[in-house]
Amino acid sequence: MDFKIEIAGLLAAATELDAQEVAGAIEIPDPAMGDFAFPCFKLAKTLKKAPGVIATEIASSLELPAFLQSVEASGPYLNFFVNRGFYAQSILPKIYAEGSNFGKSEIGKGGTVVIDYSSPNMAKRFHIGHLRSTVFGHALYNIFNFLGYKSFSINYLGDWGTQFGKIITAYEHWGNKNTVEAEGIEELERLYVKFHQEAGDKPELEDEARAWFLKMEQGDEYALELWRWFKEISMADHNKIYKLLDVKFDSFNGESYYNDKMQPVVDELKSKGVAVEDKGAWIVDLEDHKMPNCLILRSDGATIYATRDITSVLHRKNEYNFVKALYVTSKEQILHFAQCFKVVELMGHDWASEQLVHVPFGYLTLPEGKMSSRKGNALLMEDVLKESVERIRKTIEEKNPNLPDKEDVAKQVGVGAIVFNDLYNSRIKDVEFSWERALSFEGETGPYVQYTHARCCSVLTKAELDFANADLTLLVADEELELIKTLNNFPTKVQEAGERYEPFIISRFVMSVAQAFNKFYHDNPILKADAELQKARLHLTHCTKTVIATALGILGIKAPQEM
């Protein structure tokens, strides 16, 4: 039963307003003011009365159905108070019956959403700056699956481009095979940093790097042999991080995958007059769209990021027939994707404006400033995750040394702490990484939510009563009502997260569930209550556990049963 819709129907009958319009105006007030509220301002003009007078007249004239306890006029507002027992009995059985499927919908049934995320550059270690794209994209992948879409995850590896020309140049000048074989990606990254240090005084190195990349594009076997070697070393390192995060992908088709697919796109751009020659290069003039021109081919004939991204859009549309294609990258690429999407649209693909979505996120910085692989000041993701797991392991040894599966729990909580920390704010917000804030186990953190789940499991394990068919009308305490209302918001929050491409909506939601449960837990005895009330509270605890686990799962975080 949707109480908001029911109240909207009640008010529509009393005021002759459209029920859908009324539903959109209904608010959730402070609990002390009621469970639902309707502002009467918009009725003042048609009824030619003050909003406060209208609220009083409607309140006195309404015949209350069984699900409402009372309705009160408070100034210009109508405040509705639900029948608490009726409310509990209407909400909890659905959560209990549907279990981990509670909140799912078929909004996206039959539609495919392609999500491009993570996309680390080869020959560079996975630093904490890559975390954002990975966890935001993975959460969106789960959200859209939960909404009934078929999500398809693509790790568009940065495995092509001039950076490989730079690394080959550095390897030829300062590297050797034995050191690379012994030290792997660390040595590749050292060479990359070395290149940029030397190029500051020797700009001719940049020309050398471009020449090496051109050789790659022209099929030079020695250059490609080095490229394949560097890529293999890189993927071995990156896969360790994905294993720790428990993130998997449906495709690892990176930039290099489109090498043999770009020429037809370039030819089409030229034949349609979308691309024009400019001093030997080929560009798309975007001045009329208030953007800089989009470079398609450099004057030496080499392609660039935009060429590959435009090609990838067209290939993915043909391959997956998506209804949405999301590109989860940092906000510094906002212009780049605006240009690429506009070029696709100018090619005659009207769907581009609606179906192509750049999902930008803010920067993750260190206290001393923005991280950079070129400068070698990036905080490594593997180090962060391992440090977090180790700190949790020590806490477990101190507080619960007899905990079974300590290693697994330490990993689940340690990794979850880092992921939740990154997903707890709006994605566009810049975040300064802080060990203390990320690994704090008090306040609004992942471990706090995970511990709440473990607490629910502990209560249910200790219970000796069958609570499946409890009398839920007994749940009338303030804390019980607030918790049930919070749980009932889950389907709406998942839908909102999908509409806004914002996982933090679910992070904030599951935090509100944890806080509401802990208040209920502290103020209302569960195992010491009389038998019938105990059953009802156990039922509520079970529903809370279910929703927390489901919400954490969508975020890519485990829900341990013991901590």
Catalytic residues: 124, 127, 130
Query: Which residue matches tokens 């904030």?
Result: 508
For residues 245 and 418, give the distance between their C-alpha atoms in angstroms, rounded to a whole number.
10
Closest to 217 in 3D by CA, of 208, 231, 207, 227 = 227
Helix/strand/coil for 304? coil
CA-based nearest residue to 196, from 231, 152, 163: 163
Shortest CA distance to 103 belongs to which of 556, 505, 547? 547
- Find out whether 109 and 320 touch, Cβ atoms under 8 Å: no
Beta bridge partners of 360: 329
**Residue among 486, 419, 412 at smallest CA distance from 454:** 412
Q: Position 219: which residue type?
A: G
* Sheet of 364-366, strand order: 369-370, 364-366, 431-432
Longest C-alpha distance within the chain, in Å? 87
Select from 38, 44, 33, 34 the least CA-distant residue to 23. Answer: 38
Closest CA to 123 of 203, 210, 188: 188
Q: How far from 508 is each of 334, 349, 444, 456, 486, CA to CA, in Å?
A: 26, 38, 9, 19, 11
Q: How many angstroms separate the first and last alpha carbons of the chain?
A: 36
Q: Pairing state of beta strands 112-116 and 324-330?
A: parallel
> Residue 389 class from Cβ within 10 Å (0-12 exposed, 13-18 middle, 19+ buried)?
buried
Calpha distance 489→486 (Å, rounded): 5
How far apart are alpha carbons 427 and 431 in whole angstroms? 9
